[in-house]
């Protein structure tokens, strides 16, 4: 199994996961042309994507989902709440299949086993996902205000983790956001801060962990160095081992062996 990012942050998110003959896209928060360019950067063609999974309806995750799906006839999986809240993005002439999923019910797409799980975020019915191929497990958590015992159970034992580190608490407090936005971002339905992500890591079973990539960093309220310091302390590893997903470049292919 391998995975790579099209970009990560408030301006757009997208993650490619593939195993054997199956290639999936998790979210697409980029315009159609931009998404195609970002997919090409990974030496891929959009028509080779077998499915698009959606976490929630916010623009930075769904902006390009339905345009890409419609142009290349790629099926889409999403919760009923996300579907109901994404009507503005749906094309009038729909040329792709929509699959409504249960936020607790696992399913398979080709060679990949997919487990959605609910998360606390200010969206209609948000989920995150676990991807497995029978031997390895990739856990993804972004866009969650707090951790929960269920989140910990889902992510524990992963071979690779993509973990939100949206903001540094002090930078958010002193930063340029208006008070209401600071409360939203830092609230229980907002985004994980560096310290909360580090505490989450401490309670997981990380014995098989090969990759850790911090994602969804705020450009105004965080710095990669702060993220690396916080997560490396939790994992007792060198700071350079902590991967950082960038907004412009995402990150290149990482393989789980």
State the burial class of residue 13 (Cβ atoms within 10 Å of its Cβ: 0-12, 13-18, 19+): buried
pLDDT at 208: 98
Give a yes or no: residue 256 inside a domain. Answer: no
User: How many domains is the chain built from?
Assistant: 1
Give a yes or no: residue 14 inside a domain. Answer: yes
Give a yes or no: residue 155 inside a domain. Answer: yes
Give a yes or no: residue 184 inside a domain. Answer: yes
CA-CA distance, 17 to 5, in Å (whole number)?
9
pLDDT at 89: 86
pLDDT at 88: 85
CA-CA distance, 254 to 100, in Å (whole number)?
29
Average pLDDT over residues 98-108: 98
The shares of helix, strand and coil residues in the chain, as percent rounded to the nearest 5, are 30, 25, 40
How would residue 72 be classed by pLDDT, with cut points 50, 70 and 90? Answer: very high
Q: For residue 177, what is the domain's CATH number?
A: 3.60.15.10
pLDDT at 237: 96
Q: Dihedral sign for Cα 188, 232, 201, 107, please.
A: positive
Q: What share of the chain has pLDDT > 90, as a percent?
A: 98
φ/ψ of 210, rounded to 5, equals -105, -30
Task: Tell me the pLDDT of the chain averaged across its residues.
Answer: 97
Radius of gyration in angstroms for the set of CA atoms belonging to the chain, rounded to a whole number = 17
* Other residues' Cβ atoms within 10 Å of the Cβ of residue 63: 23
How would residue 233 be classed by pLDDT, with cut points 50, 70 and 90? Answer: very high
Contacts of 98 by beta carbon, 8 Å cutoff, 6+ apart = 75, 76, 78, 83
pLDDT at 220: 96
Average pLDDT over residues 37-46: 98
pLDDT at 176 over 90: yes
How would residue 102 be classed by pLDDT, with cut points 50, 70 and 90? Answer: very high
Q: What angle do CA 58, 118, 123 make, to 5 degrees?
A: 25
Give a yes or no: residue 254 inside a domain. Answer: no
Q: Where are the alpha helices (DSSP H) in the chain?
A: 32-41, 59-62, 65-72, 80-84, 149-155, 169-174, 179-186, 194-203, 224-235
Query: What is the per-residue pLDDT across 234-246, written as a single tens digit (0 to 9) for each?
Result: 999 999 999 999 9
Lowest mean pLDDT among 63-67, 91-95, 130-134, 198-202: 91-95
Q: Dihedral sign for Cα 253, 114, 48, 136, please.
A: positive
pLDDT at 187: 97
Return the structure tokens found at 31.
């315009």
pLDDT at 16: 98
Give a yes or no: residue 234 inside a domain. Answer: yes
Average pLDDT over residues 77-86: 97
pLDDT at 52: 98
Task: For 135-187, give the DSSP string.
Answer: S-EEEEE-S-SS--HHHHHHHTT-SEEEEE--B-HHHHHHSSS-HHHHHHHHS
Residue 99: alpha-carbon gap to chain centroid: 19
CA-CA distance, 3 to 255, in Å (whole number)?
7
How would residue 175 be classed by pLDDT, with cut points 50, 70 and 90? Answer: very high
Q: What is the pTM of this model?
A: 0.97
Average pLDDT over residues 85-96: 91
Query: Which residues span the domain enclosing 23?
Result: 2-249
CA–CA distances in Å: residue 203 to residues 41, 197, 235, 237: 36, 10, 10, 16
- 223 touches 171 (CB < 8 A): yes
């Amino acid at each position: 199994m391998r995975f790579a990012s099209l970009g990560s942050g408030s301006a757009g998110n997208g993650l490619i996961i593939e195993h054997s003959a199956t290639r999936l896209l998790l979210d697409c928060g980029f315009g159609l042309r931009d998404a195609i360019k970002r997919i090409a950067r990974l030496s891929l063609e959009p028509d080779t994507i077998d499915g698009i999974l959606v976490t929630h309806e916010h623009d930075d995750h769904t902006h390009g989902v339905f345009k890409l799906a419609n142009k290349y006839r790629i099926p889409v999986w999403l919760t009923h709440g996300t579907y109901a809240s994404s009507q503005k993005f749906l094309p009038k002439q729909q040329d792709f299949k929509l699959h409504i999923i249960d936020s607790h019910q696992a399913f398979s797409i080709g060679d990949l086993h997919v487990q959605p799980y609910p998360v606390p975020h200010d969206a209609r019915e948000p989920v995150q996902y676990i991807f497995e191929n029978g031997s390895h497990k990739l856990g993804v958590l972004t866009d969650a205000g707090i951790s929960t015992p269920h989140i910990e159970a889902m992510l524990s034992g992963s071979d690779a983790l993509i973990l939100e580190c949206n903001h540094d608490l002090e930078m958010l407090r002193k930063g340029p956001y208006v008070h209401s936005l600071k409360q939203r971002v830092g609230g229980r339905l907002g985004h994980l801060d560096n310290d909360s992500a580090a505490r989450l890591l401490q309670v997981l079973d990380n014995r098989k962990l090969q990759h850790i990539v911090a994602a969804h960093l705020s450009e105004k309220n965080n710095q990669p160095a702060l993220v690396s310091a916080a997560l490396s302390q939790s994992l007792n590893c060198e700071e350079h081992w902590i991967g950082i997903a960038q907004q412009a470049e995402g990150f290149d292919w990482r393989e789980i062996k």
